Chain A
Amino acid sequence: MNQLIPAILTMAAPLLFATLGALVSEYAGVLAVFMDGAITLAAFACIAVTAVTGSPLAGFFAAIGATVFLLYLIARFNEATGANPFITGLSVNLLANGLTSWLSSVLFGTRGVIALPSRVTLTAFPRGTAAIAAFAVTLVLAFVLKFTRFGLNLRITGTDPDVLASRGIPASRYRILSWCIAAFFAACAGTELALSLGAWVPNISAGRGWTALAAVYLGYKNPFLCMIAVFLFAAAEYSTNVIQGTGYLPATAVLGIPYILALLAFILIPVLKKRKI
């Protein structure tokens, strides 16, 4: 039993990062459908650079750089052309699949698993670092949202961009920033996944980006409630792994569970919200 909570917390860390990123994007009025692709891309960048340079830290920075850069470009594109952010977000997922597939076959000669050589030390960070970092970042985000001007403006970027405009605040700037911040969190999630696994596999995010969206809705857009939702999801993921081990559920079908969860959250939460009024 002593192992249960830490195990779930460790599993929760990447999901919490992803959820925070989705939360920021949600405040800006954009559903972060790009999270899944961004996580996969970030993980790839991290592994690629770590494999070449031997430094996980370099890999982490590379992940941040690559993901933020790509999402910044797309966000600028959205603002400049008035594009539908849902579609462009989905295209990020497609790009991530294609780019990682291309780069991995060009740089590493394979489209499959890229494992880090064992000489690269991953023990630099103790086991629970990621979970603690995720928790700390949640606190920081909650503070920023409530007590800073930036947080105030961000909170209504999605719901009242015209109010912002009337005060001379460009909502587009906040939307772009929200994509960059979401990218940063995706990079954290991707790095954590990749380094703890010690390798990159195709579809490493395994639908976590979508579970993150569900957690944002379950958490009523409140950072602390989202944290609780993430914990629940992590517990669910842990038990799924256990059940998979016993062979009751077909492994491939289980892949669909994050999407079902997210779908149920999207259907039920607004309905429950309405009833409560």
Chain B
Amino acid sequence: MKRFLIPIVAFASGLIAVSLILAFSAGNPGVAIQSFFTRPFSSWWYIGNTLNMAGLLILAATGSSLALRGGTFNLGGEAQIYASALVTAIVLSGPAGPAGEAALGHGALPTLAIFATALAAAAFTGALLAFIPGILKAGIYCSELLSSFLLSAAIVPVVDYLIAGPFRDRTGNLIATEAIGKAFRLSPLLRPSVFNVSFFIAIGLAILAAIILKKTREGYRFTVSGTAPNFALFAGFPVGSVTVTSMTLSGLFHGLTGFFAITGTWYMCHQSLSAGMGWSALAVALIARSNLIAVIPAAILYAWLDTASDMAFLSSNSGFDSTSIVQAIILLVVSARFLPLRRAPK
């Protein structure tokens, strides 16, 4: 039972922090706190959207967990999701977008092929952005925490620029790309929310990854290289290869998150679409102690916390960046027991 202590404390701290802030800043604290706890369950719209966000978090947190299990830290999730989302939106709009569909007629486009291309492109983008820090670490022992973070921080403004500039959809008021074609939107299963099949895909992938890690020789080498790099090196395991693989896989999952964010949730890429999702995914992975199965309930709980605080703040007319505070507190609490950084094998 002790194992669950830290995650529970983490969530509790997040809850308490939000409640305290609400109490101090809301016009009517009682109403705000009440809506914090009850609003998310009040209708299918809230429940569905929370679960949908949870699905995205599951995907991204699986990515973060895979990196952690392989002995690396992927801190570049923000850009990996964001850039992949942009790539998805670009591939699935333009000629594939609503205008193109209207012009070329329904059924004229090889839908599956384009969809698959977008999926591959998004996965590739995320994987590439994580591959670079991975290879830097394996080759010249450059800390992947730094390189992944810095690369992400550098790419995000570039994506911002691309959305506001060359790829902007001038017809709307929102700073966003053109919407993707209707054929590529995952149908909502729980109207009026956008909850769709991506939730189940996310769970399925997390479980699949968990099975592979636990039951195959590959998986054993992977996790042992992460937990005990000197031991793994000494035993003849390909530790450098594991470093690169874990980062790349992590980026790939973040790329998938970006893909499903567009095809399932927003249908177009607007600025700051993924803001904070990378950190949330890391927080969820840390809460779940990098256990791929535990990521599922952790993501759901986190998504609820996030939605609830959003609702509460909106209802109290004080909108501000509460998510950051919650993330900070959760990261602080979960990092308390986290295993220390492992140095590169000498």
Contacts and interface: CB of A to CB of B under 8 A. Distances in A.
B147 A91 contact: no
A48 B336 CA distance: 32
Contacts of B326: 98
A54 interface: no
B328 A253 contact: no
Given A77-B332, A256-B155, A97 B324 contact: yes
A111 interface: yes
Is chain B's interface secondary structure helix, strand, loop, or mixed overall?
helix
A82 interface: yes
Is chain A's interface secondary structure helix, strand, loop, or mixed overall?
helix
Most buried by A among B21, B149, B286, B319: B149
B157 A74 contact: no
B146 A31 contact: yes
Nearest to B323: A98
Given A94-B328, A97-B321, A267-B136, A86 B155 contact: no
A266 B326 CA distance: 30
Interface string B239-282: 00000000000000000000000000000000000000001000
B336 A267 contact: no
Interface in A60-107: 74, 77, 81-84, 86-88, 90-92, 94-95, 97-99, 101-102, 104-106
Most buried by B among A77, A84, A106: A84
Contacts of A111: 320-321
Given A87-B338, A90-B331, A102-B25, A210 B153 contact: yes
Given A266-B147, A267-B136, A83 B332 contact: yes
B160 A252 contact: yes
A207 interface: yes
Interface stretch (B94-102, B137-145, B221-229): B137-145
Nearest to B25: A106
B230 interface: no
A267 B337 contact: no
Given A77-B332, A267-B147, A82 B340 contact: yes
B156 A256 contact: yes
Contacts of A99: 325
A128 interface: no
A252 B320 contact: no
B140 A98 contact: no
A174 B323 CA distance: 33
Nearest to A109: B318
A88 B283 CA distance: 12
Contacts of A262: 146, 150
Contacts of B164: 252
Contacts of A210: 150, 153
A123 to B, nearest CB: 34
Contacts of A90: 75, 149, 331
A266 B157 contact: no
Interface in A111-140: 111
Interface in B112-160: 136, 140-143, 145-147, 149-151, 153-158, 160
B319 A105 contact: yes
Contact of A91 (B141, B160, B331, B337): B331
A252 B165 CA distance: 10
A97 B165 CA distance: 27
B157 A105 contact: no
B324 A256 contact: no
A74 B320 CA distance: 23
Nearest to A252: B161
A267 B286 CA distance: 27
B140 A271 contact: yes
A101 B25 CA distance: 12
B193 interface: no
A204 B73 CA distance: 28
A266 B146 contact: yes
B341 interface: yes
B324 A84 contact: no
Given A88-B331, A105-B319, A256-B156, 12 more contacts: A84-B340, A84-B341, A94-B327, A95-B324, A97-B321, A98-B324, A98-B328, A104-B320, A207-B153, A250-B161, A253-B157, A266-B150
8 contacts: A33-B149, A74-B332, A81-B336, A83-B338, A90-B149, A262-B146, A266-B142, A271-B140
Interface of B: 21, 24-25, 73, 75, 136, 140-143, 145-147, 149-151, 153-158, 160-161, 164-165, 279, 286, 318-329, 331-332, 335-338, 340-341
Smallest CB-CB A-B distances: 6 pairs: A98-B324, A98-B325, A81-B336, A94-B328, A256-B154, A101-B321
